[in-house]
């Protein structure tokens, strides 16, 4: 398919079309089509570095949008909504809606295993596309794209509708043969009618803190932070 078709879908005409091409290039394609190239040379052709930037740009746009839409919400509530909006599930749904899988360049092996429809790949590609727009036309253009493309997700995002991070954390710990976490209120701040609760989630070898205008919201944030800590523990240390 021609990239002009995708540009119409994205609502952005690239001045540097090579940025969009790179955003759509999976590392498997780069490896298969870069014979004799070094890892650094291959990295210049695939989209992982763009994903890194796109993740940050998306996070800023979402944080800004949620704050302006919900200025009275506590940090914990905003964090829960942000986690939902930037989650792999949400990004994969956006990627499928944009039909990014149809435009991906990927290796034969990845193609055979259904790579064009894999949630993680679609989610990563959305982040890479956001970065491509950012580098092509600046933050305002990237923000406009995110606000337009994620409009429905923003409307549905509420603390109550966010992911059940407490259940996810318990499942994550059970998969490691670890006991369920314990939650405890460590302090409260504010007047009785506008109180903020601070809750700590404790598990074998770790702890994380969250806050919110209710104990439940604070527990959810603590669980979300705990999951990020656990995921970080599995990543290779540089």
Catalytic residues: 55, 127
Rg (CA), the chain: 20
Element at 25 (helix H, strand E): none
DSSP 87-150: SHHHHHHHHHHTTGGGT-B--HHHHHTTGGG-HHHHHHHHHHHHHHHHHHH-HHHHHHHHHHHT
Q: Kindly list the distances between the CA atom of residue 209 and the CA atoms of 63, 212, 233, in Å, as whole numbers in the listed order.
A: 19, 11, 17
Vertex 35: Cα angle to 32 and 39 (nearest 5): 85
Does residue 235 sit in helix, strand or coil?
coil
| Torsion angle of the four alpha carbons 4, 50, 158, 92, in this order, in degrees rounded to the nearest 10 | 60
């Amino acid at each position: 398919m021609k990239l002009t078709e995708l540009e119409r879908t994205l609502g952005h005409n690239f001045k540097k079309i090579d940025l969009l091409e790179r955003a759509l290039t999976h590392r498997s394609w780069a490896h298969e089509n870069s014979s004799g190239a070094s890892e650094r040379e291959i990295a210049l052709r695939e989209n992982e570095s763009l994903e890194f930037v796109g993740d940050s740009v998306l996070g800023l746009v979402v944080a800004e949008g949620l704050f302006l839409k919900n200025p009275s919400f506590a940090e914990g509530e905003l964090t829960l909504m942000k986690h939902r909006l930037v989650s792999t599930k949400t990004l994969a749904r956006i990627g499928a809606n944009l039909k990014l899988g149809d435009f991906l360049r990927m290796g034969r092996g990845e193609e055979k295993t259904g790579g064009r429809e894999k949630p993680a790949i679609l989610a990563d590609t959305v982040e890479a596309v956001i970065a491509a727009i950012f580098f092509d036309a600046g933050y305002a253009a990237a923000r406009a794209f995110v606000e337009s493309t994620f409009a429905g997700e923003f409307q549905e995002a509420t603390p109550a509708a966010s992911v059940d991070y407490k259940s996810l954390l318990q499942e994550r710990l059970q998969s490691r043969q670890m006991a369920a976490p314990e939650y405890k209120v460590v302090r409260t701040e504010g007047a009785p009618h506008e109180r903020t609760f601070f809750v700590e989630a404790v598990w074998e070898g770790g702890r994380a803190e969250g806050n919110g205008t209710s104990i439940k919201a604070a527990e959810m944030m603590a669980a979300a932070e705990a999951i990020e800590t656990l995921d970080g523990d599995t990543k290779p240390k540089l």
